[in-house]
A and B are shown apart, each in its own frame.
Chain A
């Protein structure tokens, strides 16, 4: 099934506008609220049978997509289309964070980011080599996690005192028990195989106050993917993400000791709820030194992540600069205090 959102005003294909949060018509500028979009302007076309071939309703061209794609553009006429049957049933997202960074803002933010790179080669910071910029809704699973932790540990308190010419070191040992209720809300893990997990983790955090119930029109004009891994498959990954958080919390509950060694640490965590959610990400493909570098930008907050090229010369310059100036500074202080330079 292919969906077009037709402008009630002029009949052109409408796309999601990140600034207003509405559907907007590129030809007449008309805007429509997503919640109240008139049903008769949603043009649906069911494809027959099993064949996963979609036809653009505008020009009749075959829409070429990968199997994971749920929203794209017609490669022939450029009209935004949403592939609805890939977004229904089990594949229906529960929530979405709409784009708030428009393409122009994303380009500007990325250029600003490259200029700020202190260790990147000169050509990288000044050049304008953005090859491709794609706004993409990336599938994530958000987990509400509930659990408990049972902790046994031995804490020590050390006291030293002096009597005569003897130093006494007194160590008190305590048995420490803790039972802790744990609850974490909406911990994300990206469900797309294509996306680099480290890159996606660095894009966090998203602002959940703008988390909306999913509606298809949000996808019009962007690329979107469906998940490759279901919530069961990804749970171990999200667990490995929160275990350090849990450990950090546990250590805050045991205070007043000079050392703590855990004898038994039992953490049970189950998922209470999962939300299939689409997060907005700008993917930036950048050519430098005959190599393509990939960057990702949080489509909500504008945070940029990705491995930029590193200039050895600039690294050396920074290193010697910092080392030399701090050496001079320390020498100056030593001279001011001690009155001797060497």
Chain B
């Protein structure tokens, strides 16, 4: 009796699932995720599409994911540029953040178009790349894109040109300085509550007779130590700053090998 009633409940759920599944399949072809290299599972595509849609609405940009097996002899920047020109021409969406993964060349490129060229400038692109490179290296591309969307949105809240990871903008830093300042001021108030020593080394000195009678500074030896400037171990960065697509759209961006 009980079992059979539960069976009935399942039917609308299944219908709903089919409905949404069908929706996101149509979104996949037209909208935000262009997984041509097949790096993501279909569940991941659905989740990421929803995520990108939600964050994109907040920031008024399209968060785009593009993967490919081969850039067909072009640089990843050129390939990405051509893709974006096509998409922008057909949809009219000029403001976008585009993460391109060339799984054949093992390169990743992040670019900001339109308003995102300012709100996600090259410096911020670099910071995002720093965060996603470990995930790229471990092959966790879904999380890499999720991280890109979330972190970029966070960064885009900040005024353009400001380094969003600056220590001076961190709350823990503000708190630490506030406590330190209060500690120093109240501590010195306590220390000086009983009266301060106001004599200085100069109070009793006899300036006419205190002097250096003789002095000598003689060079003895010197030592030189060398240290190599550490190389960036996350692979080489390239294309820093951004550029212009074949269709004349300028963008901010940066890429890495992984």
State the A residues within 8 Å of B (CB).
Answer: 117-120, 146, 148, 154-155, 162, 165-187, 199, 201-205, 242, 244-245, 248-249, 253, 303-308, 310, 315, 318-324, 326-327, 330-331, 334, 337-340, 342
Contacts and interface: CB of A to CB of B under 8 A. Distances in A.
Nearest to A165: B229
Given A166-B226, A167-B229, A177-B216, 17 more contacts: A154-B220, A167-B226, A171-B225, A173-B220, A181-B210, A182-B209, A182-B210, A183-B210, A245-B204, A245-B205, A318-B185, A319-B182, A322-B178, A326-B177, A326-B182, A330-B174, A340-B158
Contact of B225 (A168, A177, A326): A168
A322 B181 CA distance: 8
B203 A315 contact: no
Given A175-B217, A184-B206, A307 B158 contact: no
A338 B158 contact: yes
B233 interface: no
B226 A168 contact: yes
Given A118-B189, A319-B186, A340-B158, A175 B220 contact: yes
B178 A324 contact: yes
- Please tell me the size bucket of the interface on B: 35 or more
B220 A318 contact: no
B58 to A, nearest CB: 14
A184 B205 CA distance: 4
B197 A322 contact: no
Given A184-B206, A202-B195, A245-B201, A322 B222 contact: no
Nearest to A142: B204
Contacts of A253: 212, 215
Contact of B194 (A168, A305, A326): A305
Contacts of B74: none
B212 A178 contact: yes
B14 interface: no
A180 B212 contact: yes
A166 B229 contact: yes
A342 B166 CA distance: 13
A180 B226 contact: no
Counting from the closest, the 7 A-B pairs by CB-CB distance are A305-B195, A183-B209, A339-B159, A323-B182, A183-B206, A327-B178, A322-B182
Interface of B: 157-159, 162, 164, 166, 168-169, 171, 174-175, 177-179, 181-183, 185-186, 189-190, 193-199, 201, 203-206, 208-229, 231
A302 B77 CA distance: 78
Contacts of A172: 219, 221-222
A321 B196 CA distance: 24
B169 A340 contact: yes
Contacts of B166: 338
B193 A307 contact: yes
Contact of A184 (B204, B212, B215): B204
A78 to B, nearest CB: 32
Given A172-B222, A303-B195, A306-B195, A119 B168 contact: no
Nearest to B208: A183
B224 A170 contact: yes
Given A249-B205, A339-B157, A340-B169, A180 B195 contact: no
Contacts of B224: 168-171
A310 B190 contact: yes
23 contacts: A117-B193, A119-B190, A173-B220, A173-B221, A174-B218, A175-B216, A179-B213, A179-B214, A186-B204, A199-B195, A201-B199, A205-B198, A205-B199, A249-B205, A305-B194, A306-B195, A307-B194, A308-B193, A310-B193, A315-B190, A318-B189, A322-B185, A330-B174
A204 B195 CA distance: 11
A242 B199 CA distance: 11
Contacts of A322: 178, 181-182, 185-186
